[in-house]
Chain A
Amino acid sequence: GAGVSQSPSNKVTEKGKDVELRCDPISGHTALYWYRQSLGQGLEFLIYFQGNSAPDKSGLPSDRFSAERTGGSVSTLTIQRTQQEDSAVYLCASSLAPGQTHNNYGYTFGSGTRLTVV
């Protein structure tokens, strides 16, 4: 696609339920990143994919968080047994290659999913 697409745009869920957030990167972008943006905070790195593998998942806050990527394209971030502190905007970004900034002027971000846990 022309840009990074994320769905849903907004998600309200009850505490304790599982949620899945989807990211569809730019076609051909091999690197994909998930970030979390809590209210009044900057962006917090969660996980990075190169192709279908995740060389760096150091930012996942707990074992309730997991992510996968299939076909080197779409990625899904899953949060199990959601808690109120999981409420945030989850942003996805993609780039041609890890750290590739020469030709695409940095990463391209999606518009994010606003998750509200009630």
Chain B
Amino acid sequence: AQTVTQSQPEMSVQEAETVTLSCTYDTSESDYYLFWYKQPPSRQMILVIRQEAYKQQNATENRFSVNFQKAAKSFSLKISDSQLGDAAMYFCAYIGSNYKLTFGKGTLLTVNP
């Protein structure tokens, strides 16, 4: 079964600085997708960025980018120029052939002014 591990329960960053959230996963599949979701206090899961496993190029969405290392099964999220609105719980997620999103336990990000 696929598993997703986020080893940092909490992280903090100063406003305007850069922070990296870690994620590793375990799978025997070769074709899959990886995601980072943001969950603010409103509870709604908001998609931040996604990565197709067959693409070698790291995905980027404005201030958010990933470092995807397929061989190492690592998928970290880098947030540049952190803003107060980035404070939230961040979840790494995997989806393969069984159509189920599998989530890590999350990293609570605090942004200090």
Contact = CB atoms under 8 A, between A and B. Distances in A.
A55 to B, nearest CB: 9
Given A42-B104, A101-B50, A106-B35, A91 B45 contact: yes
Interface in A66-118: 89, 91, 93, 98-99, 101, 105-107, 109-112, 114
Interface in B52-93: 91
B44 interface: yes
A89 B42 CA distance: 12
A58 to B, nearest CB: 9
A31 B91 contact: no
Interface string B33-47: 101010000111111
A116 B100 CA distance: 26
A89 B43 CA distance: 9
B100 A48 contact: yes
Interface of B: 4, 33, 35, 37, 42-47, 50, 91, 95, 97-106
Interface of A: 31, 33, 35, 40-43, 45, 48, 56, 89, 91, 93, 98-99, 101, 105-107, 109-112, 114
A101 B100 contact: no
A56 B91 contact: no
Given A42-B91, A101-B95, A109 B45 contact: yes
B32 to A, nearest CB: 10
B27 to A, nearest CB: 14
B44 A107 contact: no
B99 A48 contact: yes
A98 B99 contact: yes
B99 A31 contact: yes
Contact of A105 (B4, B50, B99): B50
A27 B23 CA distance: 33
